[in-house]
Chain A
Amino acid sequence: MLKYIFLRFVAMIPTLAIASVLIFTIVELPPGDFFESYVAELEASGETVDPKKIEFLRTEYGFDKPVWQRYFQWVWGMFHGDFGYSFEYERPVSELIGSRLFLTMLLSFVTIIFTWVVAFPIGIYSATHKYSMGDYGFTFIGLLGLATPNFLLALVMMYFAKVWFGTSIGGLMDPQYINEPMSLAKFGSIMEHMVIPVIVIGTAGTAAMIRRIRANLLDELKKQYVITARAKGVPPVRAVLKYPFRMSLNFFIADIGNILPAIVSGAEVVAIVLSLETTGPLLISALQSQDMYLAGTFLMFLAVLTVIGVLISDIALVILDPRIRLQGKAQK
Chain B
Amino acid sequence: MNKGASDLLRVEDLRVAIGSRENRVDVVKGVSFRIPKGKTVALVGESGSGKSIIAQTIMGILPDVAEVTGGSINFYDPLNGDQPVDIVKLSRDGKQMRQLRGGRISIIFQEPMTSLSPVHTVGNQIDEALLLHRDVSKKECRDLTEQMLALVGFPNPSRAYDMYSMELSGGLRQRAMIAMALVCNPALLIADEPTTALDVTVQAQVLAVLKDVQKKLGMSLLLITHDLGVVANMADEILVLYHGKLMEAGTLEDIFHYPEHPYLKALLAAVPRLEMQPGEKLVALREVTQPLPESFKERAAKRKHAPEDIILRVSNLSKSFESKKGSRLVSSEADRVIAVDNVSFSVRFGECFGLVGESGCGKTSLSKMVMRAITPSGGSIHFNEGTRDIDLASLSHRELFDIRKRIQMVFQDPFSSLSPRSTVLNILSEPMEIHGQGNRQWRMERARELMNMVGLSPTFLNRYPHSFSGGQRQRIGIARALALDPDLLICDEPVSALDVSVQAQILNLLIRLQKELNLTSIFISHNLAVVNYVADRVAVMRRGRIVEVAPGHVLFRDPIHPYTRNLLQSIPTTDLACPLALGNTDILSSSAQENWDEQFIPEGPGAEMEMMEVGKEHYVLVRPNCDTTRLVA
- Enumerate chain A interface residues (CB-CB to B < 8 A): 3-4, 7-8, 11, 223-225, 227-236, 242-243, 246-247, 320-323, 326, 328-332
Q: Is the CB of B325 within 8 A of A328?
A: yes
Q: Is the CB of A232 within 8 A of B166?
A: no
Contacts of B103 in A (CB 8 A): 233
- Enumerate chain B interface residues (CB-CB to A < 8 A): 59, 61, 93, 98-103, 106-107, 109, 111, 114-120, 125, 128-129, 132-133, 164, 166-167, 177, 180, 323-327, 329-330, 335, 337
Cβ-defined partner of B61 (8 Å) among A225, A227, A235: A227
What's the least CB distance linking A127 to chain B, in Å?
13
Q: Is the CB of A321 within 8 A of B119?
A: yes
What's the least CB distance linking B610 to chain A, in Å?
28
- Contact A224 to B114, CB < 8 A, known contacts A232-B180, A246-B119, A247-B119: yes
Q: Is the CB of A326 within 8 A of B61?
A: no
Among residues of A, the one whose C-beta sits closest to the C-beta of B322 is A331
Give complex CA distance A329, B167 in Å.
8
Q: Is the CB of A322 within 8 A of B118?
A: yes
Give complex CA distance A231, B92 in Å.
11
Give complex CA distance A228, B102 in Å.
9
Q: Is the CB of A7 within 8 A of B167?
A: no
Contacts of B115 in A (CB 8 A): 224-225, 227-228
Chain A interface SS verdict (over half): helix
Contacts of B100 in A (CB 8 A): 233
Contacts of A236 in B (CB 8 A): 93
Q: Which of A4, A230, A234, A243 has the most CB of B within 10 A?
A: A230
Contacts of A243 in B (CB 8 A): 117, 120
Give complex CA distance A332, B324 in Å.
9
Give complex CA distance A3, B106 in Å.
44
Question: Beyond A230-B61, A326-B164: 15 further Cβ-contacts under 8 Å?
Answer: A3-B326, A224-B109, A224-B111, A225-B114, A228-B117, A228-B125, A232-B106, A233-B102, A233-B129, A234-B102, A234-B132, A235-B98, A236-B93, A322-B118, A322-B164
Among residues of B, the one whose C-beta sits closest to the C-beta of A4 is B327
Q: Is the CB of A233 within 8 A of B114?
A: no
Among residues of A, the one whose C-beta sits closest to the C-beta of B105 is A231
Contacts of A330 in B (CB 8 A): 166-167
Q: Is the CB of A234 within 8 A of B128?
A: yes
Give complex CA distance A225, B113 in Å.
9
What's the least CB distance linking A324 to chain B, in Å?
10
- Contact A328 to B324, CB < 8 A, known contacts A232-B129, A232-B132: yes
Give complex CA distance A321, B119 in Å.
6
Q: Is the CB of B164 within 8 A of A228?
A: no
Give complex CA distance A229, B102 in Å.
9
Q: Is the CB of B93 within 8 A of A247?
A: no
Among residues of A, the one whose C-beta sits closest to the C-beta of B101 is A233
Give complex CA distance A225, B166 in Å.
13
Q: How many A-B Cβ pairs are below 8 Å?
A: 97
Among residues of B, the one whose C-beta sits closest to the C-beta of A7 is B329
Cβ-defined partner of B93 (8 Å) among A8, A227, A235: A235
Among residues of B, the one whose C-beta sits closest to the C-beta of A223 is B114
Cβ-defined partner of B118 (8 Å) among A229, A231, A320, A323: A323
Give complex CA distance A4, B132 in Å.
39
- Contact A233 to B99, CB < 8 A, known contacts A223-B114, A326-B166: yes
- Contact A322 to B327, CB < 8 A, known contacts A232-B128, A236-B93: no
- Contact A247 to B117, CB < 8 A, known contacts A227-B109, A233-B98: yes
A-B contact pairs, 19 of them (CB 8 A): A4-B327, A7-B329, A224-B114, A225-B116, A228-B180, A229-B128, A230-B61, A230-B101, A232-B128, A232-B132, A233-B99, A233-B133, A236-B93, A242-B128, A322-B118, A323-B118, A328-B323, A329-B325, A330-B167
Among residues of A, the one whose C-beta sits closest to the C-beta of B132 is A233
Contacts of A227 in B (CB 8 A): 61, 109, 115
Among residues of A, the one whose C-beta sits closest to the C-beta of B118 is A323
Contacts of B167 in A (CB 8 A): 326, 329-330
What's the least CB distance linking A10 to chain B, in Å?
8
Among residues of A, the one whose C-beta sits closest to the C-beta of B337 is A332
Give complex CA distance A253, B144 in Å.
35
Give complex CA distance A172, B274 in Å.
83
Contacts of B61 in A (CB 8 A): 227, 230-231
Give complex CA distance A71, B129 in Å.
63
Contacts of A234 in B (CB 8 A): 98, 102, 128, 132
- Contact A3 to B102, CB < 8 A, known contacts A233-B132, A332-B337: no
What's the least CB distance linking B92 to chain A, in Å?
9
Cβ-defined partner of A323 (8 Å) among B102, B166, B323, B330: B166
Cβ-defined partner of B102 (8 Å) among A231, A246, A328: A231
Contacts of B125 in A (CB 8 A): 228
Q: Which are the 3 A-B pairs with shortest beta-carbon distances?
A: A233-B102, A232-B102, A224-B114
Contacts of A331 in B (CB 8 A): 323, 335, 337
Give complex CA distance A243, B124 in Å.
12
Among residues of A, the one whose C-beta sits closest to the C-beta of B177 is A228
Q: Is the CB of B323 within 8 A of A332?
A: yes
Q: Is the CB of B101 within 8 A of A232?
A: yes
Q: Is the CB of B335 within 8 A of A7?
A: no
Give complex CA distance A7, B116 in Å.
33
What's the least CB distance linking B416 to chain A, in Å?
16
Among residues of A, the one whose C-beta sits closest to the C-beta of B325 is A328
Among residues of A, the one whose C-beta sits closest to the C-beta of B164 is A322
Contacts of B114 in A (CB 8 A): 223-225
Contacts of B326 in A (CB 8 A): 3, 328
Contacts of B323 in A (CB 8 A): 328, 331-332
What's the least CB distance linking A110 to chain B, in Å?
31
Contacts of A246 in B (CB 8 A): 117, 119
Q: Is the CB of B109 within 8 A of A332?
A: no
What's the least CB distance linking A82 to chain B, in Å?
32
Give complex CA distance A272, B397 in Å.
59
Q: Is the CB of A231 within 8 A of B101?
A: yes
Q: Is the CB of B111 within 8 A of A231?
A: no
Contacts of B107 in A (CB 8 A): 231
Q: Is the CB of B119 within 8 A of A7?
A: no
Among residues of A, the one whose C-beta sits closest to the C-beta of B106 is A231
Give complex CA distance A246, B111 in Å.
21
Among residues of B, the one whose C-beta sits closest to the C-beta of A249 is B119
Q: Is the CB of B327 within 8 A of A225?
A: no
Contacts of B164 in A (CB 8 A): 322-323, 326
Cβ-defined partner of B327 (8 Å) among A7, A232, A247, A321: A7
Give complex CA distance A233, B164 in Å.
21
Q: Which of B99, B119, B324, B327 has the most CB of A within 10 A?
A: B119
Contacts of B99 in A (CB 8 A): 233
Contacts of B132 in A (CB 8 A): 232-234
Contacts of A332 in B (CB 8 A): 323, 335, 337
